Structure 1
Amino acid sequence: MSAARFGPVDFYLLGLPGQSLDPAAFSALTDITDTGLVRLLDLIVISKSDDGELTLVEVEELPNGFEINVEMLGASGLLGHEDITELAEAIPAGASALLVALELVYQRELAARTAESGAVLLGYERIPAPVVNALVDTIIPKLEV
């Protein structure tokens, strides 16, 4: 069995309140990566001014107090200019967001074994958690705990 270097990678654009950088948002990332289920490959903070101008803050430019550094990234530079520009369109003027590339480590073996078998992935769709939760809340009555 050949070893795959990476599993699937998802880009997440996480809106932050206002233009402030909150260490709690970064802490949530480090907590989940500590489980080994995902690996943080790249990260950038994007701020959009009221007139739509973008300001980018790379990991090495983060102020003290943040638990993330360049050595923690598995593929720094993976988020390209085109990705950043396209995804930044969703950021409201006067707000900031955290753009991260996360490798789904737990899917690496599945991807490798699928490829080795000669099978190919023909489709993939993700339903965002808020949509799934809202749907389930409407079709399944809440259980009393």
Structure 2
Amino acid sequence: MNDFRYGPVEYYLVGFEGRHPDPSIFGALDDLIGAGTVRLLDVVVLAKSDDGEIEVFDLEAGEVPGVSELDPLAAGLAGDEDIEMLAELVPAGSSAAIVVLELAFARALAENLARAGGEVLRTDRIPAPVVNAMMDILEQEGE
């Protein structure tokens, strides 16, 4: 069996007000990268005008403060079709970042399972707000 070079990859669409994100947004991401929890494969920042026009910023040219310090491993992985599809979800007059992350812990899990003769057949994601709301309900019922 070959070692897994990459684990599962997830696209995150992170919305924010204004034309550019606050640099602290990417500082939080940098903490996870530094800890080895995720690897940053790509990041795209875009703005949607009030009339629906999409502008994609050139991050290498330093057009977005706080992003130029990030070093994506596969810049360009989020293709034009991905950007167009995700941009539809961004409200007019606001901005977003498309962040493509490899889940490093999941790579290790998939690799260890494969070594033992197993494989991940499917994963499902429950959004954090839903999990937290359900846990609050369960904790209240247990009191």
Counterpart residue number, 1:125: 124
State percent identity of aligned pairs.
Answer: 45
Offset of residue 141 of structure 1: 2.8
Could you tell me the TM-score, scaled by structure 1's length? 0.85
Counterpart residue number, 2:62: 62
- For residues 79 and 90 of structure 1, the distance between their equivalents in structure 2, rounded to whole angstroms, comes to 16
For these two proteins, the number of residue pairs brought into alignment is 141
Offset of residue 122 of structure 1: 2.9
Local SS of the residue matching 1:60? coil
- More displaced, 43-52 or 21-30? 21-30
Opposite residue 108 of structure 1, the aligned amino acid is: R
- For residues 115 and 68 of structure 2, the distance between their equivalents in structure 1, rounded to whole angstroms, comes to 35
User: Where does 1:27-46 land on structure 2 (aligned, <5 Å)?
Assistant: 27-46=27-46
Counterpart residue number, 1:108: 107
Opposite residue 24 of structure 2, the aligned amino acid is: A
Offset of residue 16 of structure 1: 1.0
Local SS of the residue matching 2:19? coil
Counterpart residue number, 1:95: 94
Residues 57 and 63 in structure 2, CA contact (< 8 A), matched pair in contact too: no
User: Where does 1:8-87 land on structure 2 (aligned, <5 Å)?
Assistant: 8-63=8-63, 65-66=65-66, 68-69=68-69, 72-87=71-86
Counterpart residue number, 2:136: 137
- For residues 100 and 83 of structure 1, the distance between their equivalents in structure 2, rounded to whole angstroms, comes to 11
Query: For structure 2, which runs of at least 5 residues remain unmatched after alignment?
Result: none
- For residues 24 and 109 of structure 1, the distance between their equivalents in structure 2, rounded to whole angstroms, comes to 29
Residues 33 and 39 in structure 2, CA contact (< 8 A), matched pair in contact too: yes
Opposite residue 97 of structure 1, the aligned amino acid is: A
Residues 59 and 67 in structure 2, CA contact (< 8 A), matched pair in contact too: no
- For residues 8 and 64 of structure 1, the distance between their equivalents in structure 2, rounded to whole angstroms, comes to 27
Opposite residue 15 of structure 2, the aligned amino acid is: G
